[in-house]
Amino acid sequence: MTDETKKKVEDKIVGLVKEYAGKKRFKPIDIVKEMEKEFASEGLTKDDIKAALKEIMDEEKLVYGYAGGSFLALPENQ
Amino acid sequence: MGKKHQTPLLDELKKGKWISFVREIERAAEKSERTEDLLGQVEESYRDKVNHWKHGGMAGVKSYGAGMVGRFSEFPDKYPGIKECHSMRIIPSAGFFYNSDFLRKLADISEKYAGGLLNFHGATGNIQVLGMSQAEAEDVFQAVAELGFDLGGSGSDLRTPSCCAGQARCEFANYDTMKICHDLTEEYLDELHRPAFNYKFKLKFSGCANDCVASAARSDLAFIGTWKDKIKINQDEVKNYVKKLNVQKYVLDKCPTKCMWFEGEKLVIDDENCVKCMHCINVLPKALRSGDEKGASILIGAKAPLVTGPRMGMMLVPFYDINEDAKNDYEWLKGLISNMWEFWDEYGVSRERIGELIGRVGLNTFLEGIGLEPIPEMVGHPRSNPFIKFTEDED
Amino acid sequence: MAEEIKKKRLTDIGPHDYNDYLSPMIKKNYGKWAFHEILDPGTMVHVAENGDKLYTVRMGSPRLVSGSFVRDICDIADKYCGGHLRFTTRNNVEFLIEDEKNVEPLKKDLEKMGYNVGGIGNIIANIVHTQGWIHCHTSASDASGVVKSVMDELYEYFVEDKLPSKTRIAFACCLNMCGSVSSSDIAIVGTHRKPPRIDAERLRNLCEIPSTIAACPTNSIRPDTVDGKPGVKVNEETCVFCGSCYTVCPAMPIANAENDGLSIWVGGKVSNARTKPTFSKLAIPFIPNDPPRWPGVVDAIKTILNAYKEGAEPGERVGEWIERIGWSRFFKITGFPFTKYHIDDFRLAETTMNYSSHTRL
Ligand code: HEM
Ligand code: HEM
Ligand code: HEM
Ligand code: SF4
Ligand code: SF4
Ligand code: SF4
Ligand code: SF4
């Protein structure tokens, strides 16, 4: 996965969470499945998507939330 | 100096012979002042008969989606010390073996940055440090990491695997529970720290059918030690036991398959009919030992009641040759687990444990999905109803 | 200054190598133990193939412990065990002693310090339990207080071997049952009896409606419109008060001071020895909360234990004893009323699988 595609995946994920903030709680597993479909044409695997997600977390663009199950949240909403 | 809060109800629980948790909270409060407020709030619960924790709100350390559970007081003004009272889960040393040097340092950390209270261990087997605020979490994490310890699982992820004392101190162990527990924790560290499952997934390892870690009742994948060949019999020791114990009544008659009997003074076992239940070995440990071809049975799907009722683990793999697979870095097992997780990812829904998924789609669909063949060991008995769905794929 | 050199943040270092904590004798005899003997309810000895003897002294713990407790046991471990010790699955502390001469002095020291030595053999082991009012928002009762009250009363069974077999008691403060309560000889479970209360306002901000609906095992939650805005309603006819919805949605609190309490379950077992693992079954559907000492619960446990002690054969676990004598006699002997609640009306899991490790190889 090039840095460029990784960036694209990251932006897409963060964008989705922002867009649906307060309406839908994205579970990491759903995001990974969604992105797998979205970027299938670029040959990205589940592990690539997970790596992108890890980077998002490392940079604290998103954080994990928990309510009976884990979900992705914006840091400012926590 | 008097106590910050009067606790007449809790004080009742300092009496009696059994070690008192109230006394422990008080001792923690002597070192970590905030914990006085915990005493105050718990006393209030004892008065009101209801808990006073607020639901909601998060706690965590950077980049991990697991390892901390957030807890907030319902009355932050009255009990400011426990306004935030989060707990941190730390992966234990396999088999729960420690030394005093590590434990002392951990006690110091818990008093310096948290409420001075610990759990040895949580129900999943983590060490838990209780009573820290979000602002302190990173410090606790780093202090613990400097001691060479990492955070455990929580949320929709692989929960911290756990195991019995196994070969370190038990003659019954049929495989090295601590090694495989440690190795797989290391292998799946990312799955522990970064929740990406439908729900929790647990791995537990017991060295024999006594199942001291209760794996068959609470882990999605339970490893229970067993053996393929004959039980080893020391006939002289059998004779010694016969002198002091009614071996017929308490051992032979209790054997679930009645596969043992005496021929004269000689104990005979029909090993082909033995189900490796451990009863005879438990009662006659000096006379009987498990065989040499050792491994583990793998049971799948155990869980607590929520959401759709409790389940026991059910037989999936009667004999897994751990020693052989360990030589190949657990290649076979990792393949099996990966297939399972793929299937669960694909067909499971949110908060559905793998046992519930199997219940919903049927064992056959699951077996096809993970590439295992149906075998008679998996069932208590074959079907007794005639609603067979014949399919086209017969050979 | 040293602090100014920014330290690298440690992360993902993984589990600590347990080999660092094994005593020399354990390392030497790893996988080479021959047999063990229980010397008394506080002491056992494991004998290795080469004749080495490792003594274990077991001590009770409340699980929730202070730093000072940790230092106490460290001092003992340093004095007698070369600093080595471990914990058991049921939260006991075990001191691992290589020199037999140290066994009795160690036990004396523990007793002097007020700690409880015991828990091996045909005893009541430490009660595995959950967080309760001390640390969980779902709890229908406290955990530590009930456990302390029961253990105080049953103390003799922790320090003396006088039961037909080992008896595992477990406690969970709600149906989440953190900690394998569902298959114990005797289980005490926190029980709610009223449906969740819905805070429509908070629900809109805090909860996701589809996952809240999905959380319910009985499909009792339905979408609803509250003041023209989306919300949920609960069908109180079908709700079983499990609290699963509250776990997912904080705006549906279920704890209720007047109606929460405890239920008692019996006859479960995890071990495969002799009979297959089984779940505990309902003995008493409800006992009100009665802090600080929960006398109703303590009495019920004593009743079960006395009946078991009287009636069971040596080696029989509670569930095996009840299977042998039958449930009707169990209720007769204990005097517990059999009610409509004892009859299961929840979905039954499939029953034809082999829920055990029993297998012919
Ligand atoms: C917000 C709610 C919950 C809280 C605060 C909570 C808290 C805990 C804690 C502190 C532990 C011990 C953890 C450890 O040792 O690492 C635990 C274990 C456990 N929890 Fe929960 N829990 C919650 C929800 C649930 C739910 C919804 C379920 C089941 C559907 C559940 C089932 C269990 C089980 C079975 C264990 C024991 C695991 C084992 O023995 O391996 N818990 N929980
Ligand atoms: C077109 C479908 C079916 C036909 C033509 C049919 C016909 C019959 C006949 C002729 C008998 C014997 C009655 C007697 O003893 O006098 C019988 C008995 C019975 N059938 Fe059916 N049957 C059909 C479907 C089913 C199905 C679907 C079931 C169950 C799910 C079923 C269950 C039974 C049972 C339990 C008996 C009684 C057997 C006994 O007592 O020995 N039948 N049926
Ligand atoms: C006489 C033979 C037995 C020996 C030598 C033995 C050994 C042990 C050991 C070493 C532990 C501590 C394990 C750990 O914490 O990881 C343990 C705990 C346990 N054993 Fe056994 N076991 C025996 C028989 C049984 C039987 C027959 C059962 C069940 C019927 C059983 C059930 C348990 C349970 C539930 C625990 C957890 C108890 C605790 O930690 O206090 N054991 N046993
Ligand atoms: S499960 Fe078996 S091998 Fe492991 S400690 Fe218990 S008795 Fe020993
Ligand atoms: S292990 Fe169990 S089944 Fe096998 S001989 Fe012994 S008592 Fe019988
Ligand atoms: S059993 Fe229920 S109330 Fe008790 S700690 Fe677990 S989730 Fe909380
Ligand atoms: S308490 Fe349980 S049964 Fe009742 S509405 Fe909530 S989830 Fe459904």
Percentage of chain C exceeding pLDDT 70: 94
Q: How confident is the model at residue B389 (pLDDT cuts 50, 70, 90)?
A: confident
- β strands within chain B, DSSP E: 53-54, 68-69, 72-73, 86-90, 97-99, 117-120, 127-132, 162-163, 203-206, 221-227, 232-233, 260-263, 266-269, 288-289, 294-300, 314-320
Domains and CATH numbers, chain B: 18-146 (3.30.70.2500), 162-227+293-386 (3.30.413.10), 232-289 (3.30.70.20)
CATH 1.10.10 fits A3-73, yes or no: yes
Question: What ipTM did this prediction achieve?
Answer: 0.92
- Answer whether B274 contacts ligand 5 (Cβ < 6 A): yes
Residue B262 forms beta bridges with which residues?
A: B267
Distance from CA of A13 to the nearest CA of B (A): 14
pLDDT of residue A78: 47
Token pair listed for C87: 């914990």
Q: Is the pLDDT of residue C290 over 70?
A: yes
Q: For C111-152, how does the pLDDT look when each residue is reduced to its tens digit (9 = 90+)? A: 999 999 999 999 998 999 988 999 888 899 999 999 999 999
Q: Which residue reads 């076979």 in tokens? A: B332
Mutant choice from B346, B350, B354 vs A, greatest count of A C-beta within 10 A: B350
Q: Is the pLDDT of residue C353 over 70?
A: no
Q: What is the CA radius of gyration of chain B?
A: 25
- Where do runs of H (alpha helix) occur along chain C? 24-29, 67-80, 103-112, 144-153, 155-159, 200-206, 209-214, 244-248, 295-311, 318-325, 327-334
Count of beta carbons in the 10 Å neighbourhood of residue B56:
17
Q: What is the CA radius of gyration of chain C?
A: 24
Q: How far apart are CA B145 and CA B136, in angstroms?
A: 14
Average pLDDT over residues C315-320: 95
Q: Say whether A68 and C250 touch across the interface (CB within 8 A).
A: no
pLDDT of residue B276: 97
- Answer whether B282 contacts ligand 4 (Cβ < 6 A): no
**Domain map (residue ranges) of chain A:** 3-73
Ligand nearest to the CA of B305: 1
Considering only CB atoms, which chain A residues are within 8 Å of B56?
67
Residue C226 forms beta bridges with which residues?
A: C229
pLDDT of residue B142: 96
Q: For C169-186, how does the pLDDT look when each residue is reduced to its tens digit (9 = 90+)? A: 999 998 877 766 788 999
pTM of the model: 0.84
Average pLDDT over residues B267-295: 96
Mutant choice from B12, B36, B49 vs C, greatest count of C C-beta within 10 A: B49
Residues 6 or more apart whose Cβ sits within 8 Å of residue C128: B123, C89, C90, C91, C168, C170, C171, C179, C180, C181, C184
Ligand 3 atom nearest to B163, measured from its CA: 16
Q: For C216-247, how does the pLDDT look when each residue is reduced to its tens digit (9 = 90+)? A: 988 999 999 888 888 999 999 999 999 989 98
Q: Which residue reads 């002095």 in tokens? A: C105
Q: For B79-123, how does the pLDDT look when each residue is reduced to its tens digit (9 = 90+)? A: 999 999 999 999 999 999 999 999 999 999 999 999 999 999 998
Q: Is the pLDDT of residue C348 over 80?
A: no
In this complex, which chains have at least 3 CB pairs below 8 Å with chain A? B, C
